[in-house]
Amino acid sequence: MLTYDHIAENKIKTAILIAAFLLLIIALGFTFSQAYDAPGIVFFAVAFSTIMSLVSYYFSDSITLALSRAIPVKRQDNEELYRVIENLAIAGGLPTPKIYVIDDTALNAFATGRDPQHASIVFTTGILDKLTRQELEGVAAHELSHVGNYDIRLMTMVVVLVGIVTLLADWFLRISFWGGGRRSRDSNNAQGIFLLIGFVLALLSPLIATIIQLSVSRKREFLADATGALLTRYPAGLAQALEKISGDREPLEAANKATAHLYIANPFHAKQKTSVSWFANLFNTHPPIEERIRRLREMNIG
């Protein structure tokens, strides 16, 4: 398959998942407003989630860098790394991001920043020491692709949607528990049906929202692989890097669950099985690394 086809396919799948999110929120909002005759709850949930996510959007990069114990790299400290990043940024039509290093022998990297003008790319010392130049270019191109594809912005929007779903579900269950009994006795048959549907949705929707969020994250990893391969014109470089990363069973000490989705590969290698069932994969932030390598090997840069 041509690399352009991979990119188009992943963009379409992402759009479908976002549409599914919006449909879930519409279904929740309509059901809850009908059950309790209170449409204002939907608007409050949207406003609250948006405000919280805006705060995260503007400050998440500095928080993430601090949590990861990332140290800024000066040009004189690693001239070759700067040349790699600058050349790829020029090829991608992007400003050169800030470069950071985590002092850890594990093999990993991630990008953060709300847009290309405020982007940072972080590498572990392990990945800088153990990859060849072509492999490092593949990793750097992958991370620059996250920046160029505005994945941080997209995932912030997804977090907003997850927050809305979770708030609506939580409020519905609380209202049902504290005041739903009297309401249900006073309600007509239609409201009773909506109450039942709403209760089921309130229980299942946070799980569904989480699955969709993680699915979007996996699709963006595939997209960054394809876009990065197009940037370097050498998919094998990233494939070889991922093979080395998958063989590294050392967990990244500075990683945590809040930032795990940012990394090029799951940073908890030591705790992760090499193969998982399709159901377990629903709850992974990253697609199977073997599948990513296979797709890269099959790519045709046309």
Residue with tokens 């209760």, as numbered in its chain: 199
Closest CA to 11 of 210, 151, 209, 110: 151
Which is nearest to 264 in space by CA: 70, 106, 154? Answer: 106
Catalytic residue among 9, 143, 250, 291: 143
Binding residues: 142, 146, 221
Angle at 156 between CA 153 and CA 159, to 5 degrees: 155
Phi, psi for residue 82 in degrees, rounded to 5: -60, -40
Question: Which residue ranges are tagged as binding site for Zn(2+)?
Answer: 142, 146, 221
For residue 56, what are its two tokens? 């995260």
At 120, the amino acid letter reads S
* Nearest residue to 17 via CA among 256, 233, 249, 217: 217
Question: What DSSP character marks residue 114?
Answer: S
Q: How far apart, in whole angstroms, are the C-alpha atoms of residue 91 and residue 207?
A: 40
Q: Is 143 a catalytic site residue? A: yes
* Sequence-ordered list of residues with C-beta below 8 angstroms from that of 140, at least 6 positions apart, any chain: 84, 85, 88, 109, 121
In the three-class reduction of DSSP (H, G, I as helix; E, B as strand; rest coil), residue 187 is classed as coil
The two structure tokens encoding residue 281: 């994969």
Phi, psi of 184 (to 5 degrees): -65, -35
Catalytic residues: 143
